[in-house]
Amino acid sequence: MIATLDRRRPLLPIGVALLVAGLIAGLVTRGGSTSTSSRGALAALLAPPRTGSGASAVNVVQARLRAAPGDWRSWAALGSLYVERARVGVDPTYYPKADGALRRSLAIRPHGNYGALVGQGMLANARHDFSAGRRWAERARALSPASPTAYGVLGDSIIELGRYQDGFAAVQRMVDLRPDLASYARVSYVLELQGDVPGAADALDAAVRFAGNRSDAAFATFQLGELRWNEGDLAAAAASYDRAARLDPNFVPPAAGLARVHAAEGDLSRAIAEYEGVIARLPAPQYVTELGDLYTAAGRPADAARQAELLRVEEQLFRANGVNVDLEASLWSADHRVRIEEGLGAARAEYRRRHSVFVADALAWQLHVNGRDAEAITYADDALRLGTRNALLHFHRGMIEQALGHWAAARADLQQALAINPHFSLLHAPEAARVLVTDSHRG
């Protein structure tokens, strides 16, 4: 099964739309007559395509290629557009199409092909092959050392690999070269990883100021809502989600955010209805997971089982199209106590590939549910090495410490999890509270 990690704000391969917009503009200038509007570097990756946007951009490039099949720039543009379309619609079948177009571009123009190199880096990151993403980004950077997009793709890759200082330096170089929406969004995530929540919020405020249109502003505002959610501030999170939804009604994530807030407020019926509406528009694995857990909490096991089956089908689809979902599958397995030996194998495989704090956390949690807490605690400590204020990371370590009999440490971590966000997980926040009550009775 696939899901997503807590409410962290991962470094998406933002910059796709900016890169594509430049490539498309060049095509139109060289002879095309159809104009296209870019939805922006961030919103384009999650929002459904709007009229005259992603779909028409693909049509522009395809028309150009029918007239000039040897145009390597057009093939690079098409490949990057397919990466965008995959992310917009949560449709991994576009990834093989993207790979084919980018490879075609490189076959025609193997040297000096910046667009195809950075496109391949974005594609590799989207498929969670961050080592390949780093290699492509380094080739793009060598070709164009002053390109902020190359540094963005590079930063995304090496941060996900757990090479944080190098990744932070790449993001710093990106913002130095071009302080804009894409770079400040990354700065926000870098600061959040290190526990600097006020700094992360300031960076998102800057991203909003750089927004070139309402869709860009909607994405940055939504991310501010995610930051407030992670801090347990339901009112501020809801205000940001509502503002983002009004800025761009086609942008789905704010609706999911509001549903999550309503669930935290105890209105499960409203939250379920809202999540059902979200999934009808965008059946992303994260939303399917959250709806399934809501069904469980509402005493609707048959509905929860249907969501689990949908997740299983989505996992197969992602894997069939070259996306590595070992991390997400491992977390779902551990959270729901399903095929935990297989889940542990997936977590170990992912940790062999990359040593990020979230992969260390997933491995720690799988080791815990497999009864291997003495091994798990080392990875749980590693998951918090950056000082990240993340309730789920503290909860996982607290439960491992409790299993080891380290009562004082467990109490501190579980209290910290609930202090950061008392609603951090529909599954685990009540569990943390119960353990603390039990512990108080011990004393």
Long-range Cβ contacts of 235-243 (<8 Å, 24+ apart): 237/261
pTM of this structure? 0.88
Which CATH number is associated with domain 325-442? Answer: 1.25.40.10
Tokens, residue 395: 């909860």
In the chain, the amino acid numbered 96 is P
CB 348 within 8 A of CB 376: no
The helix/strand/coil state of 365 is: helix
Classify domain 16-251 at the CATH topology level: 1.25.40
CB 292 within 8 A of CB 302: no
Tokens, residue 43: 């919103």
Q: What pLDDT shows up at residue 88?
A: 81
Q: What angle do CA 22, 219, 61 make, to 5 degrees?
A: 30
CA distances from residue 381 to 4, 265, 401 in whole angstroms, order as listed: 21, 32, 10
Per-position b or e across 284-314, b if 16+ CB within 10 A of its CB: bbbbbbbbbbbbbbeebeebbeebbebbeeb
The ranges of the chain annotated as CATH 1.25.40.10 are 16-251, 325-442
Separation between Cα atoms, residue 304 and residue 148, nearest integer Å: 44
Segments of the chain scoring below 70 in pLDDT: 1-54, 441-443
Residues 6+ apart with CB under 8 A from 253: 46, 222, 244
| Helix ranges (DSSP H) in 46-129 | 54-67, 72-89, 94-108, 114-126
The single-letter DSSP state of residue 47 is S
In the chain, the amino acid numbered 259 is A
Q: What pLDDT shows up at residue 54?
A: 64
CB 288 within 8 A of CB 256: no
**Nearest Cα residue to 43 out of 228, 190, 185, 231:** 185
Q: What pLDDT shows up at residue 21?
A: 43
In the chain, the amino acid numbered 245 is A
DSSP track, 186-223: HHHHHHHHTT-HHHHHHHHHHHHHH--SHHHHHHHHHH
Separation between Cα atoms, residue 428 and residue 434, nearest integer Å: 10
Q: What pLDDT shows up at residue 51?
A: 32
The helix/strand/coil state of 232 is: coil
CB 41 within 8 A of CB 211: no
Q: What pLDDT shows up at residue 326?
A: 95
